[in-house]
Amino acid sequence: MKPILINILVILLFTSCGIIDTKPQNKHLTYQNIVILSDMSSRLDNKPSKDLEEIHKIIQFFKNECVKPGEKIGDKSSVTFSTFSGLVSASIDIDKFKGLGAKQQFINSTGVYQNNGLQKQIEVFEKKAKSVYANARNQGLDLISILSEKIENEGIIKQNKELTDGIDTTFINYENNIYIFTDGYLEYLNKKTNSQFYFGILEIDKIRQFCIANKSDIATTLKANQLLTLPALTGKKNQFISLHILETHERDKNDKLQTYKYPKGLRDNEILEAVWRKWALESGFRSFEWKKY
């Protein structure tokens, strides 16, 4: 009986001292970094804008699927909004809260954040976006060059990091998603100075005519003739980014008659999608999505 009691005491002693399991307890956690960029060109005046409705859906995704008030603890996700020509106009970054207690009060809009928590900041975010759409217009910007500049120099992309206490390590992974609201045309005012990333009606029609003359589809045409596409623009951070182009307007579509100027397979936005996709994948982006809505 005595040996049994001794063994039990030894086990209890080792357990209380934490000696039984000394293996590192590593964790892998993934959070979202959502960046919304809006092309504030004349497209907004040509047809009714649907951007704000889609931005609302993105914000609801951020709230209900990323942060999850009342369900999730310790989220580090973020969402920002800006025009191509400006700095960040609206931002909610859960990662800025270092203390778990304050973070959860903000997320759940309780305690000191009862009237200024996540729900209130979502309302402020959407009001700021609405104000920008009502007042900002920028004609003819070089979207590709500006996008690269923002990625490399404006700190909109989050990189993975590790947190350790010397034994256990937590690996923090960020999924960077950039949502660009545009009609897909890359027309800017200083084409004569630098036409590197200019892609408008003339460039689209060159691809269309090449397809017709050679009886080929768009993808085959772009593969056969690099001069008809956009040059790749690689960057160290591109590999961490999923790029989403939310195309809002089709110039060659008659909304009233629901007809197109060109046949299927040769329409403007089919060509634009293929050009954007080829450029994004050759530039090393993690993934690419073209969404028409």
Of residues 246 and 3, the one with the higher pLDDT is 246
Among 129, 142, 117, which residue's Cα sits nearest to residue 80?
129
- Please check whether residue 233 is in contact with residue 147, taking contact to mean a CB–CB distance below 8 angstroms: no
The torsion region of residue 184 among left (phi > 0), alpha (psi -120 to 50) and beta comes to left
The two three-digit tokens of residue 76, written as one number:
């580090």
pLDDT at 110: 96
Q: Which residue matches tokens 């025009």?
A: 83
pLDDT at 6: 52
3-state SS string for the chain: CHHHHHHHHHHHHHHHCCCCCCCCCCEEEEEEEEEEEECCCCHHHHCCCCHHHHHHHHHHHHHHHHHCCCCCCCCCCEEEEEECCCCCCEEEEHHHCCCHHHHHHHHHCCHHHCCCCHHHHHHHHHHHHHHHHHHCCCCCCCHHHHHHHHHHHCCCCCCCEEEECCCCEEEEEEEEEEEEEECCCECCCCCCCCCCCCECHHHHHHHHHHHHHHCCCHHHHHHHCHHHCCCCCCCCCHHHEEEEEEECCCCCEECCCCEECCCCCCCHHHHHHHHHHHHHHHCCCCEEEEEEC
How many CB atoms sit inside 10 A of residue 259's CB?
9
Query: What's the mean pLDDT in 17-28?
Result: 66
Statement: residue 57 has pLDDT above 60: yes
Of residues 245 and 191, the one with the higher pLDDT is 245
pLDDT at 15: 46
In the chain the domains, ranked by start, together with CATH numbers, are: 27-185+234-256+273-292 (3.40.50)
Statement: residue 21 has pLDDT above 60: no
pLDDT at 49: 78
Q: Report d(CA 141, CA 85) in Å as an integer.
A: 8
pLDDT at 106: 97
